[in-house]
């Protein structure tokens, strides 16, 4: 079986979720993780027994990856995804796709011109609880659905900066 060579861009909180999933797939070889904070990339690489930690996306892309997962703050999603697509690499980008509709359009154009696939994470879509809710709704178990709100939380580490949020969380893509 041919294996997809996958690289991770961003060694933050969500990388562990992606790496656990990727490491469970026999068709995937995770080749490394890139982060501007090399020590953080090295810690993630060690924790998941990855062969490489990179201090730059350029190094990761030069390693011969087929696919990258872009797991950075949203302000970087568009630029990093476009960079990878132009390098001939398929991209899975965390949500939100980008900060503006224009950036999303640029990402889509880069995917089309490169002939590579651009995917956006929708992590709850296949969640067993969500699937059960869909099954109940389709079966008529709750009547006619006219609206739906889905709320969930995650175990994010506490923000040590006090009351003022860091800049990346003040952007519209985190509202």
Provide the annotated active-site residues. Answer: 95
In which residue are the tokens 């985190």 written?
174
Structure tokens that stand for 105 in this block: 């359009």
Cα–Cα distance between 95 and 76 in angstroms, integer? 12
Structure tokens that stand for 115 in this block: 């002939």
In 77-107, which positions are buried (b, 16+ CB within 10 angstroms) versus exposed (e)?
Answer: bbbbbbbbbebebbbbbbebbbbeeebbebb
Read off the DSSP letter of residue 53: E
Structure tokens that stand for 173 in this block: 């893509």
């Amino acid at each position: 079986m041919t294996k997809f060579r996958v690289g991770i861009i961003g060694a933050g909180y969500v990388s562990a979720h992606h790496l656990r999933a990727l490491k469970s797939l026999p068709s995937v070889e995770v080749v490394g993780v890139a982060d501007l904070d090399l020590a953080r990339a090295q810690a993630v690489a060690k924790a998941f027994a990855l062969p490489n930690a990179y201090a730059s996306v350029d190094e990761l892309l030069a390693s011969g990856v087929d696919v990258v997962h872009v797991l950075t703050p949203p302000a970087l999603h568009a630029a990093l995804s476009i960079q990878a697509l132009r390098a001939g690499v398929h991209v899975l980008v965390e949500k939100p796709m980008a900060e503006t509709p224009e950036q999303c359009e640029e990402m889509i154009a880069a995917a089309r011109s490169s002939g590579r696939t651009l995917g956006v994470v929708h992590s709850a879509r296949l969640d067993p609880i969500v699937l059960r809710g869909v099954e109940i709704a389709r079966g008529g178990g709750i009547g006619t659905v006219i609206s739906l709100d889905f709320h969930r939380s995650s175990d994010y580490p506490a923000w040590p900066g006090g009351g003022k949020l860091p800049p990346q969380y003040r952007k519209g893509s985190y509202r």
